Amino acid sequence: MTNNSTTSPVLQSAAETAVDLLDDWFDPIEAGLRDRVREFIQTMIESELETALSRPRYARRPKADPENAEGASGVTGHRHGHRSRSLLGTFGRVDIAVPRARLDTPEGKTAEWRSTALRAYQRRTRQADALIAGAYLAGTNTRRVRRALAAVFGGAVGKDTVSRVWRKVKSDWDAWNTRSLAEEPIVRLILDGTVVRVRLDRKATAIVLLVVLGVREDGQKVLLAVKNMGGETSEAWRAVLDDLVKRGLVKPRFLIVDGGTGLEQALAALWGDVPTQRCTVHKHRNLLAHAPQRLHEEVSADYNDMIYAASAAEIEERRRAFMRKWRLKCKAVADSLEEAGERLFTFTRLPLSQWRSARTTNAIERLHEEFKRRIKTQTVLPSAETAAMLFWALLAAGQIAMRKVDGWQTLNQNLAEQPIDLAA
């Protein structure tokens, strides 16, 4: 996932630093190759220090250039030995001799040099933390995580390690849920509920997670909220929206919703004047629910011809034809389409390049499908909070990536007036 507010210090992608990249390069390995990993990390850190001191090891300090105050001697300091560090990754545990140095400061004092490749007090790679946390979030207890990952980490993961990682993930989750959104340039919201199965009172129960995606000015999608509020009532959705506003979310310019009554009521009370698009996929399902099985194929063909027409004028013409035909053939289908009103066609007010991404809440649907694929071996999650946390964690870790919306280059263009003429 691209760098955004969902990123967690514990669950970031392994590509952020060269140390973490090793987790992608090497599978669990034997001692010989582990030695090469250690040598690589040490060489990288030594090179980093040489750059900071502007000289290799054992070389003299470069002389100052009076004609160039910002020359090689701009940073001075001296080495003073090494310290031992132990690092746990998916390549196993390695012991590293980290070089030490003191750098001169402008105030005439010295400060300890810090490597950017190996963070202070770092004992595990981010990829290792993500693997441990992911196993725990999937419903495995600390002892089972230790046994399951023993082969990966060479038996170096204990119960205490798992517990520490879990506490760190939990603190990151809590911080993410309370972070400020005042600096997020959100122009569009996509809102939908997604169903997951969890264990409540020792029984498998389906719950609904309320998911809010934002679209930034540059078109990048970002997760803003994922909460279990006990259902999709207007009160539940309003609580989620009020929390986002309280944390500084600006009023969006466009909304995409699933068409649920509770969400519609909550948005009408908060942002009643914001153009809103009803998901065309959800409406398609509604139409089929009102038609006998033998007519499903015909309803789908007529509906898709209308929704995926190439222009607003063509959509308007095909809508009128759809209403005339199905009022006679199956009135319930025509009534269901009419119920959606102009909100089913708000996307036609946008530039044509945005239509594909603005017609549906598929961005959330795709996230849910990927989420289910990741937990397919864990059919029932241990709790409602764990389900929400795992949804967030997979995004924060970069294991699920979100691309920019189609037509993002035209997001700043104003919407046209009335979408289409709904007169039959």
- Report the SS3 class of residue 130: helix
For the chain, percent of residues with pLDDT exceeding 90: 39
Q: For 396-417, what is the mean pLDDT?
A: 83
Count other C-beta atoms under 10 Å from residue 30's C-beta. Answer: 9
What is the model's pLDDT at position 69?
46
| Lowest pLDDT segment from 102-106, 207-211, 263-267, 396-400 | 396-400
Residue with tokens 């691309």: 403
* Cα atoms found within 13 Å of the Cα of residue 63, Cβ hemisphere only: 3
What is the model's pLDDT at position 152?
54
What is the model's pLDDT at position 417?
76
Q: What angle do CA 360, 363, 365 make, to 5 degrees?
A: 85
Q: Residue 36 — pLDDT band, cuts 50, 70, 90?
A: low
What is the model's pLDDT at position 309?
94
Q: Residue 235 — pLDDT band, cuts 50, 70, 90?
A: very high
Of 205 and 19, the structure prediction assigns the larger pLDDT to: 205
Q: Is the dihedral of CA 279, 283, 284, 286 positive or negative?
A: positive
| Lowest pLDDT segment from 99-103, 172-176, 253-257, 327-331 | 99-103
Angstrom distance (rounded) from CA 315 to CA 299: 16
What is the model's pLDDT at position 237?
95
What is the model's pLDDT at position 28?
45
Looking at the predicted structure, is the pLDDT value of residue 10 above 50?
Answer: no
What is the model's pLDDT at position 18?
45
Average pLDDT score, the chain: 77
CB 87 within 8 A of CB 41: yes
Of 288 and 390, the structure prediction assigns the larger pLDDT to: 288
**pLDDT tens per residue across span 288-322:** 999 999 999 999 999 999 999 999 999 999 999 99
Looking at the predicted structure, is the pLDDT value of residue 348 above 50?
Answer: yes
Q: For 26-45, what is the mean pLDDT?
A: 59
Q: Residue 67 — pLDDT band, cuts 50, 70, 90?
A: low
Helix-, strand-, coil-residue percentages of the chain, each rounded to 5: 45, 20, 35
Looking at the predicted structure, is the pLDDT value of residue 34 above 70?
Answer: no
What is the model's pLDDT at position 355?
93
What is the model's pLDDT at position 279?
94
- Report the SS3 class of residue 35: helix
- Taking alpha carbons only, the member of 261, 214, 155, 209 closest to residue 391 is 209
Count other C-beta atoms under 10 Å from residue 333's C-beta. Answer: 26
Question: In Å, how far are 76, 78, 350 from 72, measured between CA atoms?
Answer: 9, 15, 55
Angstrom distance (rounded) from CA 79 to CA 58: 9
- Taking alpha carbons only, the member of 420, 209, 406 closest to residue 313 is 420
pTM above 0.75, yes or no: no
Q: For 335-339, what is the mean pLDDT?
A: 94
Q: Residue 229 — pLDDT band, cuts 50, 70, 90?
A: confident
Looking at the predicted structure, is the pLDDT value of residue 1 above 50?
Answer: no
Q: For 65-80, what is the mean pLDDT?
A: 58
Token readout for 340 is 């959606």
CB within 8 A of 149, min separation 6: which ones?
131, 132, 135, 157
Q: Is the dihedral of CA 139, 145, 147, 150 positive or negative?
A: positive
Beta bridge partners of 78: 102
Of 353 and 207, the structure prediction assigns the larger pLDDT to: 353
Q: For 318-330, what is the mean pLDDT?
A: 94
Q: Residue 26 — pLDDT band, cuts 50, 70, 90?
A: very low
Q: How far is CA 389 from the centre of its chain?
A: 12
Q: For 360-378, what is the mean pLDDT?
A: 77
What is the model's pLDDT at position 107?
79
Q: What angle do CA 350, 245, 250 make, to 5 degrees?
A: 40
Looking at the predicted structure, is the pLDDT value of residue 42 above 90?
Answer: no
Of 226 and 91, the structure prediction assigns the larger pLDDT to: 226
Out of 72-76, 198-202, 247-251, give the one with best mean pLDDT. Answer: 247-251
